[in-house]
Chain A
């Protein structure tokens, strides 16, 4: 039971998190200028966020629920 509640909360967190992340990316994609290196900064952020997400997923399923 506690696993279902925790999983529900975690899924809601991830949904809100990636909604905000993709909102930021949408803004950047819409207004980014092709003449600077900001694409690499965005890619860097995305990579870190994706890696942390994978680590958090791994740790979530290690929890003694």
Chain B
């Protein structure tokens, strides 16, 4: 679970653009249709197929169960790749497969510069892009294929500025 400090609030939650899951789901839907085709062929064969029809029906349902589970795993992988921008930090949660997950975070006062990239024609039309954040610790964070990337960039810059101003005032007092 994500624990927020008392003054901290979630400003933006970013998932990848829906086009990322659309390709995988299209494949899933195609795979879901195959047993219906097989069953219709088995039905048309009728008597020639005989008692094997029940077995084909059973195996088709088992196959459908597996495809639905695969689609749920695809969706989980998509949904759990998330970036949470709070008023104090950015949390990057990356789901890698079913049991492997990586969570990293950095405070907004560490943000040095932000680059926005629209990688190709499809990204231009569907309005998604990558945001690369350079932090003080030499590392960079990349938020890939997100919608609202300009808003995210502006929000991070605004709050990073506020954090830096706050830190400077604390230093002068």
Contact = CB atoms under 8 A, between A and B. Distances in A.
How extensive is the interface on chain B, given as a class?
20 to 34
B152 to A, nearest CB: 16
Contacts, number: 71
A30 B99 CA distance: 13
A48 B66 CA distance: 11
Contacts of B73: 20, 24
B165 interface: no
A54 to B, nearest CB: 10
A60 B172 CA distance: 76
Given A17-B65, A28-B80, A56-B61, A64 B72 contact: no
A55 B95 CA distance: 32
Nearest to A55: B61
Given A24-B73, A53-B65, A30 B98 contact: no
